[in-house]
Amino acid sequence: MLADRIFDMLAGWHSKNRLDSQVLRTLDEHARGLMDVCGGCERIRHTPLPPSPTGVLRLALLFYLLTTPAFILNEVGWWGLVPLGLGVFLFISVELAAEAIEEPFGTSGDDLKLEQYCRAIESSIREILM
């Protein structure tokens, strides 16, 4: 739908003699590039990560977190819990970061700044058209 609107707008401007053929070819090339990028973003957005690797990683993390304290206490004693706690913090942080990266489009602080990108593209298009 967006591609049709953009190409219809360009064709309309050309038919009203607001664009000459050379500028139309240039804008057409940029519009096609924009549509390629939009298509790539749609594919990213609608391609879910397969659940099996994610589940296996979570199961391995759970197994590690449940079994490692017993080995650390036997080998090092209570002082071994400090580095273990740091390792647990690291693994859980990586898991939470991976969950945030799985969905790059949204409104949370970690998501892509789509409004900023759109404003930059709009500014560039306005600059080209002037």
Q: Is 27 exposed, middle or buried (0-12, 13-18, 19+ CB in 10 A)?
A: buried
pLDDT of res. 94: 83
pLDDT of res. 125: 80
CA distance 24 to 75: 73
pLDDT of res. 34: 84
pLDDT of res. 29: 87
* Per-residue confidence in pLDDT tens, the chain, 130 aa: 777 788 888 888 888 888 888 888 888 888 888 888 888 878 877 777 666 677 787 888 888 888 888 888 888 888 888 888 888 888 888 888 877 777 777 777 777 787 888 888 888 888 877 7
CA distance 88 to 82: 10
| Token code pair at residue 85 | 């706690």
The answer to whether the beta carbons of residues 83 and 23 sit under 8 Å apart is: no
Q: Where are the beta strands (DSSP E) in 1-130?
A: none
The model carries a pTM of 0.45
